Structure 1
Amino acid sequence: MGCVNSKNIANSSIRDPPVIIRDASDSLKVHKVENRRKYFRRNGFKPLEVIKEEEEGEKTGIRKIVVESSNPNLDNKHSNESRRSSEGEQAAPGWPAWLRAAAGDAIDGWLPLKSENFERLEKIGQGTYSNVYRARDLQTGRIVALKKVRFDNFKPESVSFMAREIKILRTLDHPNVMKLEGIITSKLSCNIYLVFEYMEHDLSGLLSCPHVKFTDSQIKCYMLQLLKGIEHCHSRGVLHRDIKSSNILINNEGVLKIADFGLANFFDNKNKQQLTNRVVTLWYRPPELLLGSTSYGPCVDMWSVGCVFAELFNGKPILKGRTEVTTF
């Protein structure tokens, strides 16, 4: 077998081919790396340890770099990674590998739903990272809401962002919080749909109707449900971070549910972590976030709840600034 000399390695491009490790048991492990030279240096390989460069498939054009490892610790590391990956596949059959890697604990015990079992109807909502559709479950005839999450499964931060929302939704279980009922995905598609109960209205839409005027009793009823839902989130260590009237859904029976946990995050009152202040829609954003604070807790949600409370009486948002300065 021919060798790849050190010059070729030194001049490799930023996006290098996958690296294949041949360990002591003579088995091959494939590792996708961004920079081959850094990978070799970090793991103690020498240029002459590259024993083969080969083509894989005419269609893909992927080039593999095969190296021999003489480091038993590295062999054990790759062996353990391979074993964990295999165990993950057995524990979560049917899920794409990238989702198992990013949210394995969140999808534990679930099986993916099939897209052909749902008839997608009209679009009913749109967020920063998602679109929401009304759909029909063809097996039961039930109307549901499908939230199509936008992400790039080749960008780790995008996948982890999406995976966090799934983990948070599975953490919560309360009558006044939208419950995740299932996930539609496939190994061949990068799309992912979150399946929820269908709610006929959102608070913002109701308030925008000229003929709708809530009574004091109705406002008390909705605020009680909203506060119970928020209390549940906070008791489970979850900050919603985007409470606003359009994220508060109401069905025809008057049941209120908090929706859209795309900006939500976990928190720990005992160990305060630094969080981004670029959250909460401007009209509902509390003063500490407007002033740049990155250390906060449940109080940011409670400010937003107060804004919604005033909006129920006023019929429209009370802090409609165009910029952070005018809002503050």
Structure 2
Amino acid sequence: MGCVLGKSDAKEKESRRSSRRREENKQASEPDLTRVQNDGEREKKIGEIPAGDEGLLRPSASAPEFRLRTGGATTREGWPSWLVDVAGDAIKNWSPRRANTFEKLDKIGQGTYSNVYKARDLITGKVVALKKVRFDNLESETVAFVAREILILSRLNHPNVIKLEGLVISRMSSSLYLVLEYMEHDLAGLTAVQSVKFTEPQVKSFMKQLLSGLEHCHNNGVLHRDIKCSNLLIDDEGILKIADFGLASFYDPESKKPMTSRVVTLWYRPPELLLGATYYGPGVDLWSAGCILAELFVGKPIMRGRTEVEQLHKIFKLCGSPSEEYWKKSRLPNATLYKPQQPYKCCIAETFKEFPPSALALVETLLAIDPDARGSASAALNSEFFTTEPYPCEPSSLPKYPPSKEMDIKLRVEEARRQRDLGGKAHAVDGTRRVRVHERVGRAIPAPEANAELQVNLDVSQTDSILFLRYITMPNAILVTIFYNIIKKLPLSF
């Protein structure tokens, strides 16, 4: 009898241990989602945060990863709990889609934290763009950026602003997809095509659509903060839409809050941000629009600095340096570092003398050093540029082109570089002299990524000084060559 009871007890204990192991495995395979919280207040939604970047949501220290797998930490609708916490109002009328209901067709874009794919909705058959954002092993601020992008896109509704059509949750990976309208082109891809030369009515059509979209954003308290040609998408009907709101922010002109100056891609970044401004408004987007207006007439970016110092120097040489009143009024953090010793005069009119007079006047307004002098998107739409002949053409009358995006340019540049390198190796093998050929792929080339998340804009002089100290023991002939290259890179004296 004792043996029987002993065996029975052993079986019962083993059964309990098996149950515990199954429960532990289940918990391990379905990790809880940690609620996103603000520094000082739990369960505060991102929509309630002040417009400034100091209010970005950050996850708790105990949650380094944000997993989107379904399980105990999802709502009845199937949304991850953290997403409901930060964007509940924006998604309340949606149901989550699954990644296996879409078929990826091609990769059409790549950013710091995301990739963009052309895809087909297997339920409706519609072609869409999927913006994939991963949360494994990334900076915690990514969650806030994505949540804010969702909220901003849900607030905006305009023909010239990209539309958010839904969200997709991947069961197999820690990823979230934004379902967006698919557009065949971006403006960077079109301007880089050798055969494309926009007429004045076509330029007016693109700019009218850009400024109309910006007017809607600004009227709804949204700053885009990364207006550039590759973020302006165009479909086969000639409709332009502002896209990629990953760096966008809410703002309230009546209640100013500090924001980061590390936004806007370098070639389109206004001088106040380069000087460290943390209080700004719609003027940052209007400056970028002015750069694009001039670029559409010239056929290439007008100020292509390699560093922040060089970019600021190019701005001052073209647009003039700030007045003494501006320096005193703005009190910008980097004013003492970058203030020119000798003031520059504005030479926009001389540089772009071939522009139509009304276009030249609008460029001078939008590229004003003082952001208050740039006016508004509404004022720009009412300028002579749009109210005098030739008038903007209808978008549907724009020429039809094969699909072309900035990523296509990069691929062509990489292929040309690869072919050039292969050609150089062939010359080295057969003993002939190698001749350097300057490649030219299109009139425009992609701008360097220089945004808030990237710390890549180093001062050229600092970098070259390090190189000098590193190679100080080299022979004189090599040192002379190094000094010569340093002098060539440095901007002219301020």
TM-score, scaled relative to structure 1: 0.72
Aligned position for 1:317:
301
* Matching of residue 122 in structure 1 with residue 106 in structure 2: yes
Give the conservation status (yes or no) of the 8 Å contact 1:226–1:258: yes
Give the conservation status (yes or no) of the 8 Å contact 1:134–1:145: yes
Counterpart secondary structure, 2:305: coil
Counterpart secondary structure, 2:158: coil
Counterpart secondary structure, 1:136: strand
Q: How far did residue 108 of structure 1 move?
A: 1.6
CA distance in 2, matches of 1:262, 1:303: 19
Give the conservation status (yes or no) of the 8 Å contact 1:94–1:186: no
1:96 to 80, 83, 91: 80
Question: After the TM superposition, which of the residue ranges 195-204 and 100-109 deviates more from structure 2?
Answer: 100-109
Describe how 1:4-15 pairs up with structure 2 within 5 A. Answer: none
Aligned position for 2:159:
175
CA distance in 1, matches of 2:292, 2:118: 26
Distance 1:228 1:289, change over 3 A: same
Aligned position for 2:249:
265
1:196 to 177, 180, 187: 180
Aligned position for 2:402:
none
Give the conservation status (yes or no) of the 8 Å contact 1:126–1:132: yes
Counterpart secondary structure, 1:95: coil
Distance 1:300 1:154, change over 3 A: closer
Q: How far did residue 176 of structure 1 move?
A: 0.2
Q: Percent identity?
A: 62
Flag structure 1 segments of 5+ consecutive residues without an equivalent: 1-53, 63-76, 79-85
Give the conservation status (yes or no) of the 8 Å contact 2:168–2:178: yes
Q: How far did residue 102 of structure 1 move?
A: 2.5
Aligned position for 2:261:
277
Q: Which amino acid aligns with 1:127?
A: G
Higher strand share: 1
CA distance in 1, matches of 2:161, 2:188: 17
Counterpart secondary structure, 1:106: helix
Measured against aligned partners, the alpha-carbon deviations of 1:27-67 in whole angstroms (never above 9, x if no partner) come to xxxxxxxxxxxxxxxxxxxxxxxxxxx999554898xxxxx
Give the conservation status (yes or no) of the 8 Å contact 1:55–1:61: no
Describe how 1:146-225 pairs up with structure 2 within 5 A. Answer: 146-152=130-136, 156-186=140-170, 189-225=173-209
Question: Whose Rg is larger?
Answer: 2
Aligned residue pairs, count: 251
Q: How far did residue 266 of structure 1 move?
A: 0.1
Q: Which amino acid aligns with 1:297?
A: G
Give the conservation status (yes or no) of the 8 Å contact 2:134–2:175: yes
Give the conservation status (yes or no) of the 8 Å contact 1:96–1:186: no
Give the conservation status (yes or no) of the 8 Å contact 1:172–1:236: yes
Give the conservation status (yes or no) of the 8 Å contact 1:114–1:184: yes
Q: How far did residue 162 of structure 1 move?
A: 1.1
Give the conservation status (yes or no) of the 8 Å contact 1:152–1:158: no
Give the conservation status (yes or no) of the 8 Å contact 1:201–1:249: yes
Counterpart secondary structure, 1:260: coil
Aligned position for 1:140:
124
Counterpart secondary structure, 1:116: helix
Question: After the TM superposition, which of the residue ranges 183-192 and 152-161 deviates more from structure 2?
Answer: 152-161
Give the conservation status (yes or no) of the 8 Å contact 1:239–1:267: yes
Q: Which amino acid aligns with 1:125?
A: G
CA distance in 1, matches of 2:254, 2:125: 47
Aligned position for 1:6:
none
Q: Which amino acid aligns with 2:157?
A: D
TM-score, scaled relative to structure 2: 0.48
Give the conservation status (yes or no) of the 8 Å contact 1:135–1:144: yes
Q: Which has the higher contact order (CA 8 A, sep 6+)?
A: 2
1:105 to 70, 78, 89: 89
Q: How far did residue 124 of structure 1 move?
A: 0.6
